[in-house]
Amino acid sequence: MSILIGDTAPDFTAQTTEGTLNFYDYIDGHWAVLFSHPKNFTPVCTTELGYTARLKPDFDARGVKVIGLSVDQLESHEPWGKDIEETQGTALNFPLIADTDRTIANLYGMIHPNASDTLTVRSVFVIGPDKKVKLSLNYPASTGRNFDEVLRVIDSLQLTAKHQVATPVNWKNGDDVIISGAVSDEAAHAKYPEGFKTIKPYLRTVAQPK
C-alpha cells in the first residue's frame, strides 16, 4: 500500500513504550510525525532516536506529536532506550511502537520489497490536524535522516496552512515568502499594505506573515 500526500493517514492501535496507543486519539487535533526504524540496536537508528528526543521541545513548541516505529519486540525497546541515552545523551521521551507483526509498517507502505522483505526503510510521515498526510519521505536503511529538515518543513506547512503563501527554495523560518497565484495584485496590496516585491507577474515575494 502506498500512502500519498493528501491521503487520510490510517488509524491503528499499537503497543508502545508508553503503553497501548490509538493513533487518532494520540494526535487528537495536533500535527504529528510518524517515523520508522529498520531495526533495534542498529547504529544509525540509535543516533536518529537520540537526536529526535533532543528536539522534543522544538516539536512541542510547534504542537507536534512524535511517534517512532520499530518492527522489533517491545521487550527490546527498554534496553535499547538505555543505549540511546548512554550514547546520545538524551533519553527517549516519545512513544516507540513495537510493530512485530508489521501490520502498521504494511499499512503505511514502510516495507519496500526491493530493499528488504522484512525490515522497514526510514520512512517519515508528517500528518496534519485533519489527519491528512502533508509530507512523506523515504530514506534507505544506510542513510540517517535530517530531522532539522523535518522541523523546517513543518514550519513551512504550518505557515502555508494559515496564509495564502508558499515558501521558496531553501526557505527558513523568518525568510520572505511567495504570494499565492490565487491572490490578485489588488488583493495583495490590501493584504500587505506595507508592500511586496514583484519579480515576475507570477513571482511575488513578501515578508513572512507573523
How do residues 130-174 score in pLDDT, each as one tens digit?
Answer: 999 999 999 988 899 999 999 999 999 999 999 999 999 999 999
* 95 and 199 belong to one structural domain: no
The number of domains in the chain is 2
Residue 175 structural domain: 163-206
Has 116 been annotated as catalytic? no
Residue 154 forms part of a structural domain: no
* 134 and 182 belong to one structural domain: no
Residue 81 and residue 135: Cα distance in Å, rounded? 27
Distance of CA 25 to the CA centre of its chain: 18
* 113 and 29 belong to one structural domain: yes
Residue 209 and residue 5: Cα distance in Å, rounded? 25
List the catalytic residue out of 3, 33, 34, 45.
45
* 123 and 168 belong to one structural domain: no
Residue 1 is predicted with a pLDDT of 57
Residue 118 is predicted with a pLDDT of 55
- Kindly state the greatest CA–CA separation across the chain: 61
* 64 and 136 belong to one structural domain: yes
- Please list the ranges in the chain whose pLDDT falls under 70: 1, 113-120
